[in-house]
Amino acid sequence: MYLEIVSPEATLFSGEVTSVTVPGINGEFQMLTDHAPVVSLLQEGQVKIEGNISIDEAYENKFSSDAAGKTVLNISSGTIEMKDNKVIVLAD
């Protein structure tokens, strides 16, 4: 599936991933390929990405890795839309 993470200043990431886990307002949830369409508000927490991830050098400092080897981005709030195997995260 294709993931885009957009912040007010730039597109922080765009590319193919195997899974995305986000901090929804009703709890953390994960999306995989062929997930049902969803729109949700996000709360403060971590966006966790799995796959062969390549981060642009300009934004590497915003991402880290967790103990499980997932790529992690800390956010304070946001919105997510999943439709037709494309995930768009609007993050603050």
Q: Say which CATH number the domain at 23 has.
A: 2.60.15.10
Q: Which of 46, 53, 50 is nearest to 73 (CA)?
A: 46
pLDDT for 60: 94
Structural domain span for residue 65: 2-91
pLDDT for 16: 97
| Counted domains in the chain | 1
Q: What is the pTM of this model?
A: 0.94
64 has which bridge partners? 72
pLDDT for 75: 98
pLDDT for 4: 98
Please give the sequence-ordered ranges of beta strands (E in DSSP) within 7-57, or none if there are none: 11-16, 19-24, 27-32, 38-42, 45-50
Mean pLDDT of 61-84: 96
Each residue's pLDDT tens digit, 14-61: 999 999 999 999 999 999 999 999 999 999 999 999 999 999 999 999
